[in-house]
Amino acid sequence: KTLIWQVDPSFIPDRIIKDAAQIIKEGGLVAFPTETVYGLGANGLSPEAVARIFRAKGRPSDNPLILHIADVHAVYTLAKDIPPAAFRVMERFWPGPLTLVLPKQDVIPREVTAGLATVALRMPSHPVALALIREAGVPVAAPSANRSGLPSPTTAQHVWDDLAGKIEAILDSGPTGVGLESTVLDLTEDRPVILRPGGITTEDLQEVLGEVSVDSGLAAPEAVPKAPGMKYTHYSPQAEVILVEGTPENVSRKIRELVERYTRQGKKIGLLLTDETWRLLGSLPVTYGKNMGTRLNLAGIARIIYGELRYCDQVGVDVIFTETYSQEGLGSALMNRLLKSAGYHVINA
Ligand code: TXA
Ligand code: MG
């Protein structure tokens, strides 16, 4: 059985944090909110506890986990050969949606890092996450709390849908803020490399570090990314996802055409579109239509996109048509996830 505890982030009850931390200390699994997505936490120093994370998620064992910490000093006990760049970004972006890949110390079990010589570290900014990690007194290994391959969970309900019965508890603090996962930044090479675009943008990092490159393995469907997790089919609902690219005029014309064609084939359709496109579209006979807001507010779209992809599955949609975004700011994280959920299926309008 899985217990759900409601935890108001502005009034965190000690009792609940103690109980949840106790579960982690005893080798159990607790899902908890972060500012990005919900995480599935376990004692990051216990090989057995970490192994349970992989089983609960159905996660390939060669995909390493992020260790979550609540105190910067933990970096010294978990990582070594820490370059000055690491301190500069920690100072600026921690706590927050940035994960640093650094050479690992021996205390970290190989289950966490999937045998790599490096470890991913992150200090989340969500007060409930910080309270839990602090109380647990150990680094908390936590992937996103979804079944492997599905979109990451941005509410406790999403976690329940995927993992009920497989984990001890869920801390429910409502919907998460960023809605996409943290940026993974590799600091083990001569130059900083973004392995996964996320909540902290490339532009943010460049401001502090100067030159920052993006892992070339992320670019094309055939390339091999450096973050093991980026190579798997991911973020995908059951429904087929198709991206439609072009001006709002062309996209809306193409969507009308696609809706007609797929409806004729008996397909149930979901539309996840921006306000700019809906304006030109008017109403269409689809199973589910969502106006995700203006494309000028990418943060608003990022916050809800995973939930919307999941919702389309709930209402039994066969195919989801959605749009592309420019790669600026949060756009690069959003596009990274959308391209993967669509298996790189993009239609030019
Ligand atoms: O926002 C987040 O980062 C969320 C919340 C819960 O903190 N966590 C999360 O974890 O997204 P996960 O396991 O779903 O994704 C971690 C990513 C994977 O792509 C993994 O391959 C990569 O980080 N990663 C972890 N350790 C690594 C390492 N040592 N070297 C390269 N990539 C690593
Ligand atoms: Mg994940």
Contacts with 294 (C-beta within 8 Å, 6 or more apart), sequence order? 274, 275, 276, 300
Report the separation in Å between the CA atom of 100 and the middle of ligand 1, taken as the mean of its atom positions. Answer: 10
Best CA proximity match to 281, nearest among 259, 248, 252 = 252
Position 233 scores a pLDDT of: 65
Helices 331-341 & 298-314 angle (0-180, nearest 10): 20
The strand pair at 39-43 and 140-141 is best described as: antiparallel
Position 230 scores a pLDDT of: 73
Average pLDDT of the chain to the nearest whole number: 96
Atom of ligand 1 nearest to the CA of 122: 7
- d(CA 310, CA 306) in angstroms, rounded, equals 6
Task: For tokens 């497989």, name the residue.
Answer: 166
For 65-90, what is the mean pLDDT?
Answer: 98
Q: Give the tokens for residue 91.
A: 């100072």
Report the separation in Å between the CA atom of 99 and the middle of ligand 1, taken as the mean of its atom positions. Answer: 8
Q: Are 162 and 55 in contact (CB under 8 A)?
A: no
Best CA proximity match to 43, nearest among 64, 22, 61 = 22
Number of the ligand closest to the Cα of 236:
2
Is 144 among the annotated ligand-binding positions? yes
Confidence of residue 201 (pLDDT cuts 50, 70, 90): very high
Atom of ligand 1 nearest to the CA of 97: 1
Q: Are 4 and 66 in contact (CB under 8 A)?
A: no
Position 224 scores a pLDDT of: 77
Q: Is the pLDDT of residue 283 over 90?
A: no
For 224-232, what is the mean pLDDT?
Answer: 77
Beta pairing partners, 40: 31
**What interface predicted TM-score (ipTM) does this complex get?**
0.99
Confidence of residue 304 (pLDDT cuts 50, 70, 90): very high
Position 309 scores a pLDDT of: 98
Position 191 scores a pLDDT of: 95
Report the separation in Å between the CA atom of 153 and the middle of ligand 1, taken as the mean of its atom positions. Answer: 14
Beta pairing partners, 98: 183
**CA of 142: how far to CAs of 39, 274, 304, in Å?**
5, 32, 21
pLDDT in tens, 144-176: 999 999 999 999 999 999 999 999 999 999 999
Q: Give the tokens for residue 137.
A: 């007194």
- d(CA 4, CA 106) in angstroms, rounded, equals 35
pTM of the model: 0.96
- d(CA 136, CA 128) in angstroms, rounded, equals 12
